[in-house]
Amino acid sequence: MVKISEIQISIICIVATEFCERFSFCGVRTILSIYLRNELMLSENTSTIVYHVFIMGCYIIPTIGAICADSVVGKYRTILYFSLIYLAGNILMCGASICSVQLSKMFFTPVGLFLIAFGTGGVKPCVAAFGGDQFYLPDQREELQHFFSLFYFSINLGGFMGMTITPILRQVVTCFGEDTCYPLVFGFPATLMMVSIVLFVIGKPWYRIKYPKKNVMLDFIKCAFYALAKRMVRDTKRYDHWLDYAQDKYSRKLIDDMKIVFSVLFLFLPVPLFWSLFDQQGSRWTFQASHMNGYVFGFEIVPDQMQVINPAMVLVMIPFFDIILKPVMASCRILDNNLSRMAVGGFAASLAFFSAGIVETVLEKTYPELPDKQHSSMFIVNTLPCELDVLNPFNKSLTMQSSEMIMFKNMPADNSQHYKLIVEAPLLCGNIKMKKNYFQMYLTPIENQVDTVIIGMDVTNRIKVFLTDPIDFKKSLNGKARVRIAYMKSSGNLNNVTVSLKNKEGLQDVYFVQDSENIYLATSGYMELPDGKYKCIISSAEIPVITTKNIVLEFGGIYALIIRESFRGIEFLEVYPMAAANSVNILWLIPQYFFISVAEIFFAIAGLEFAFMQAPKSMKTVTIAGWYMSVAIGNFLVILVTQASIFKSQAQEFFLFAILIIIDMIIFLRIVSKYRFVQLEADSSIYLFRGEQCPLIKEESLHLYGNVEDEDKE
């Protein structure tokens, strides 16, 4: 009989290993979408696709890990070898983030992500199954169930700490002249992965290590193909189950074990849609949070930190569910099996996405008005000190006041259509005598693009119109304000001009205006600055401080700072909000995180336990790999929906997912109603729970076996 202390030591090592691995993985995953968008300059849609391709890879590779564990080197060595690959990926990501050359980042980042996905994917199906191997069934069945709760608790505790600490490191620490420190952000998970490997190796003397005696996966595949081939032969004896056609070549035990595995995998068919909802926390929900106001009681919550709510809630819910709710449900015979609990989790996920859709509907009212398909929009800004008559692209004349900004919405745009813009000023514009007070130009609007036209003058007091680069309405994932500077040169008397924005905490961002005789409009990239009051200071080589002005930047707003110089001075300095600041508080996301956490408690823990408990002893990692494969397929569904761009409104997409998961769970319940639970004992013998369900596995096709000798222990 095994000593309890030995089991405890082995379980402690396994759970601690999983905690460190989850800490590392969730830390990388939490900031990945931000890193892709802010550092690699990918769009939100492209970042979403790359993020879900990465997650998909993490859950496809478990199939390879399962084959290695069940058929080649065993679970212990599989975990160790793939962990080393995982560590190499973390180190490469750290190195890639140090590279100052964008091309190097674009090359090494995918390689690093591939190694991380390959490493974590190989480990995933093995750790839970390896932990389960430490127990003797059926005597320790109850202890095994508690292990799965503890195991999932460690997953969420590691995830919680990774999601909490990693964004803080990204936000607070700076290095290499940047306002963030991604080398530390990726280096810290790499260190944790080293700790994970060390802890796992330390526990080896106490592990119950099983090694495969034969290539089970190879026999599994060969038997399946042989049975299918025999079934297609017309003169072959007919059987009720297609796998029975292989009984002339393969053992009864293998065939019965395969029937169990296929019945479990059949139940997993509706599961991917759940994961397509659940994993949007790291992409769509994070982008949704970036459009909201993160201030709560004077403290700022950055968007990527909202992902912490899910593991935090799960950490609180698991003890409540395991100690209180589960025994109550068992005594009342309500939701007393894993499959019924999974269905409840699916319906809870639908509530989460209905909630997300409602919040998004409110948020959309605060979004900038972007042009429709095959349309364009345009802002016009008057920087002259007088009224202007403008014949706009719709052939309507209007008068613009000094400093006024107007917007023309939804102009038809086919990328070849031209619009004539005519601007006329009085000969005496304020105190300036105009040498030319009339200007016309042709604009070619680009589909889905919003341009800014700035009306100013050149060095000879001739009216002139400038066209800036298109406005980027992408919100900062840090909740910061985004500012772009447009500097018009009306004289050649100022050199080495700098525009500084400085707040009371001493934070300063500086734009150096390009000196060139041929450039009359200099435009900066977007600066990301914390919200608050700033002093705008303009200086040059000739004049230390030309002018100053106080401006206010609000949380998540997008601004254009427009400046016009004239004869050793600044004649125009104004800041314009191009997109409204975030006004809806981020706490409105809590209901959807609550529902998705409830969904995870009911769905994920029950599903993982079901995949292990219902699988034959020699194929436990196969069913767990099938469980993780459903996660990969779920992420692939998100990629398809994102690429298809079916909806203009993100809220509509959320509502679609909510409705789909309801339909999906109804189908799941229909499949579940025909399933008969199978009890697997340590010696691989099986018996059926007597119930009223119709079996997916025919009872007469299952044989009982005598004791099977335990696998060798090294």
Which of 273-287, 483-497, 541-555 shows the lowest per-residue confidence on average (mean pLDDT)?
Answer: 483-497
**Consecutive H or E run containing 182:** helix 182-202
- Token readout for 45 is 């849609």
pLDDT at res. 140:
73
Question: Is the model's pLDDT at 177 over the cut of 80?
Answer: no
Q: What is the pLDDT of residue 707?
A: 38
**CA 257 → CA 217, 224, 314, 672, 685, distances in Å?**
12, 12, 34, 19, 10
At residue 9, the pLDDT reads 82
Question: Which has the minimum average pLDDT: 95-99, 445-449, 465-469?
Answer: 95-99
In order of 372, 393, 446, 462, 501, the CA distances from 376 in angstroms are 7, 11, 6, 29, 31
Pick 137 or 483 by higher pLDDT: 483
Helix axes of 74-98 and 4-34: crossing angle, nearest 10 degrees? 30
Higher pLDDT, 627 or 395: 627
Which of 219, 206, 578, 582 lies closest to 405 in space, CA to CA? 578
Query: What integer is the mean pLDDT of 173-188?
Result: 80
Name the percent of the chain lying above pLDDT 90: 21
pLDDT exceeds 70 at position 230:
yes
Tens digits of residue pLDDT in 559-589: 999 999 887 788 899 999 998 888 899 999 9
The 10 Å Cβ neighbour count of residue 467 is 15
Amino acid at 691: G
Residue 172: CB partners within 8 Å, gap ≥ 6? none
Alpha carbon distance 120, 195 (integer Å)? 15
Residue 103 scores a pLDDT above 70 = no
Tokens of 582: 């975030």
Determine the CATH number of domain 375-579: 2.60.40.1120
459 pLDDT higher than 90: no
What is the structure's pLDDT at 689?
Answer: 36
pLDDT bucket at 126, cuts 50 / 70 / 90: confident
User: Which residues, 6 or more positions from 194, have their beta carbon under 8 angstroms from its beta carbon?
Assistant: 87
pLDDT in tens, 666-696: 999 998 888 777 665 444 433 333 333 333 3
Each residue's pLDDT tens digit, 661-670? 999 999 999 9
- Please report the pLDDT score of residue 105 as a whole number: 76
pLDDT tens track for 285-328: 988 988 888 888 888 887 877 888 888 898 888 888 878 888 88
Is 698's pLDDT higher than 70? no
What's the rounded mean pLDDT across residues 178-205? 86
Q: pLDDT above 70 covers what percent of the chain? A: 90
pLDDT of residue 308: 84
Q: Are 623 and 220 in contact (CB under 8 A)?
A: no
> Looking at residue 435, what DSSP letter applies?
S
Q: Which residues pair with 309 in a beta bridge?
A: none
Mean pLDDT of all residues belonging to the chain: 82
Buried b (16+ CB within 10 A) or exposed e, 351-362: bbbbbbbbbbee
Nearest one of 536, 582, 591, 581 to 559, comparing CA atoms: 581
Residue-wise pLDDT tens digits, 377-395: 889 999 999 999 988 766 6
State the Cα–Cα distance between residues 443 and 455, nearest whole angstrom.
14
Q: Are the C-beta atoms of residues 395 and 323 closer than 8 Å to each other?
A: no
| pLDDT tens-place string over residues 36-94 | 877 787 877 788 888 888 888 888 888 888 788 877 888 889 999 999 999 999 999 88
**CA 140 to each of CA 203, 427, 682: distance values in angstroms, whole numbers, following the listed order:** 21, 94, 10
Question: How far is 513 from 570, CA to CA, in rounded Å?
Answer: 14
Task: Please check the confidence at residue 235 and state whether its pLDDT lies above 80.
Answer: no
**Residue 102's pLDDT band (cuts 50, 70, 90):** low
pLDDT at 700: 35
Strand partners, 442: 420
For 4-35, how does the pLDDT look when each residue is reduced to its tens digit (9 = 90+)? 455 578 888 888 888 888 888 888 888 888 78
Q: Give the model's pLDDT for residue 646.
A: 78
Q: What is the mean pLDDT of residues 626-631?
A: 82
C-alpha–C-alpha distance, residues 257 and 710, integer Å: 17
* pLDDT tens figures, 505-515: 887 888 888 77
Domain ranges of the chain: 4-213+251-366+584-701, 375-579
222-236, 325-339, 532-546, 675-689, range with the lowest pLDDT = 675-689
Q: Cα–Cα distance between 302 and 589 in angstroms, integer? A: 13
Answer yes or no: are the C-beta atoms of 612 and 624 closer than 8 Å: yes
The reply to whether omega before 138 is within 30° of 0 (cis) is: yes
Q: How far apart are CA 404 and CA 382, in angstroms?
A: 6
Q: With a cut of 80, say whether residue 527 has pLDDT above it.
A: yes
Q: Is 513 helix (H, G, I), strand (E, B) or coil?
A: coil
Determine the Cα–Cα distance for residues 156 and 600; give it in Å rounded to an integer.
11
The superfamily (CATH) of domain 4-213+251-366+584-701 is MFS general substrate transporter like domains (1.20.1250.20)
What gap in Å lies between CA 348 and CA 653, rounded to an integer?
A: 17
Instruction: Check residue 712 and give its pLDDT.
Output: 40
* Helix, strand, or coil (residue 616): coil
Strands 388-391 and 295-296: unpaired
Q: Do domains 4-213+251-366+584-701 and 375-579 have the same CATH topology?
A: no
* Enclosing H/E stretch for 572: strand 570-579
Contact 531, 491 (CB under 8 A): no
For residue 254, which amino acid is it?
L
Confidence of residue 558 (pLDDT cuts 50, 70, 90): very high
In the block, tokens 């095959």 appear at 374
Determine the pLDDT at residue 629.
83
Residue given tokens 């081939």 in the structure block: 229
Contact 348, 662 (CB under 8 A): no
Q: Supply the pLDDT for residue 702.
A: 38
Identify the band that residue 549 occupies on the pLDDT scale cut at 50, 70 and 90. very high
CB atoms closer than 10 angstroms to residue 500: 17
As a whole number of angstroms, the distance between CA 155 and CA 124 comes to 11
